């Protein structure tokens, strides 16, 4: 059976994630943006020849050139388009630079009982959240989107997106293989220049979480399940 994964965001995080998953899943890559000169220092899947071209299409071509299967869709991820963009996927990964999109992806995954990974990077660090049905979700921890600086506003060290993207890809592959070690946990990398190990943040489901209340497999329906500690 073919494994299908959707990656939302084809930039600094989406690039390494897509290339890492190229041989493990059939990919749909969603991004509304085009390649700009300012992207090239951290989005290594692109070159000057890609300037002005849709990121999703060019990243899909890079995956295909490496022997994978990928389709690029030049569009924004929205609640209205979510079913069409991700309806048949086994796993969805958010690699965008927009808090509202991250919550939208996580909420859709929870409501549809899908595996999901949410990745973020800014300045010198970042975080990765691994979601599976039946455990505390992304909204249990962060509750609602907030106004926050983006990479365009605050910048990000080029190697950081590669490192965080690699962790997100590894987490995704683990979830697809049935590894639930970090299910419902956030791996926070505070400053990769000084400390390479993450803080592992584990938390209980939030009793009033609206996403969990709508989930087909809700952590609120039974006592919280203890998540196995990592090695």
Which pLDDT value is given to residue 230? 47
CA distance 43 to 184: 28
pTM of the model: 0.92
pLDDT reading at 165 higher than 50: yes
User: Is 137 one of the annotated active-site residues of the chain?
Assistant: no
Of 191, 175, 13, 178, give the one whose Cα is nearest residue 94: 13
CA distance 177 to 49: 37
What are the boundaries of each domain within the chain? 4-220
Cα 151–chain centre separation: 16
Q: Percent of the chain having pLDDT more than 90?
A: 80
Task: State the catalytic residue, choosing from 89, 151, 209, 212.
Answer: 151
Which pLDDT value is given to residue 222? 60
Give the domain 4-220 fold. Answer: Rossmann fold (3.40.50)
Strands 125-131 and 115-122: antiparallel
Per residue in 172-226, pLDDT tens? 999 999 999 999 999 999 999 998 899 999 999 999 999 999 999 989 876 555 5
CA distance 25 to 7: 11
pLDDT reading at 231 higher than 60: no
pLDDT reading at 228 higher than 50: no
Of 41, 224, 9, give the one whose Cα is nearest residue 136: 224
């Amino acid at each position: 059976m073919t494994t299908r994964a959707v990656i939302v965001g084809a930039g600094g995080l989406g690039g390494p994630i897509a290339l890492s998953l190229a041989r493990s899943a059939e990919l749909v890559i969603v991004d509304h943006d085009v390649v700009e000169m300012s992207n090239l220092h951290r989005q290594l899947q692109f070159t000057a020849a890609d300037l002005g071209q849709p990121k999703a299409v060019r990243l899909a071509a890079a995956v295909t050139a490496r022997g994978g299967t990928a389709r690029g869709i030049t569009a924004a991820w929205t609640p209205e388009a979510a079913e069409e963009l991700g309806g048949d996927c086994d796993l969805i990964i958010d690699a965008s630079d927009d808090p509202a999109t991250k919550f939208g992806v996580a909420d859709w995954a929870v409501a549809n009982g899908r595996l999901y990974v949410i990745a973020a990077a800014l300045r010198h660090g970042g975080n990765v959240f691994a979601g599976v049905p039946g455990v505390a979700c992304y909204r249990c921890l962060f509750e609602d989107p907030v106004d926050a600086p983006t990479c365009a506003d605050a910048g990000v060290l080029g190697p950081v997106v590669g490192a965080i993207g690699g962790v997100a890809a590894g987490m995704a592959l683990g979830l697809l293989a049935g590894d639930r070690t970090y299910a419902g946990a956030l791996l926070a990398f505070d400053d990769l220049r000084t400390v390479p190990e993450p803080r592992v943040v584990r938390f209980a489901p939030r009793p009033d979480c609206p996403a969990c209340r709508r989930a087909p497999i809700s952590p609120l329906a039974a006592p919280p399940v203890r998540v196995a500690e990592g090695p």
